Amino acid sequence: MNINVKQVAMEILSYFLRNPLAADTLEGVARWRLLDEVVYRKVEETRAALEWLVERGLLLETAVSGASPVFCLNIDRISEAEKLLAGKVRRRRGRA
């Protein structure tokens, strides 16, 4: 089994493990289930990135009663955020 087929198989399996009562056709799996898996993975990546930024004080997290927290830029750390972002952009340009 090549790496791409194995990766897709793991994504399908992950979806069915999270949704053990799900059932669908090949087309249904390809259209909706894998899309759901990609969205799930992106939400997890985004959660980790937001936590990283909050831990460094670059973003602020505000609890909202009955809703998900809201994130915003920490105005007191703008220059640090700009330096971090500028360093990342410079490194990417240097590789190209």
For the chain, the domains span 3-95
- pLDDT tier at 95, thresholds 50, 70, 90: low
Report the predicted TM-score, pTM, of the whole model to 2 decimal places.
0.63
The DSSP code for 56 is T
- pLDDT, one tens digit per residue, over 34-81 is 788 788 889 999 999 999 999 999 999 999 999 999 999 999 999 999
Q: Which residues contact 29 (CB under 8 A, 6 or more apart)?
A: 12
Q: Which residue has the higher pLDDT, 82 or 93?
A: 82
Reply yes or no on whether the pLDDT at 96 is more than 50. no
| DSSP per-residue letters across 57-70 | TSEEEEEETTEEEE
For residue 71, give the H/E element and its range: strand 67-73
pLDDT at 43: 92
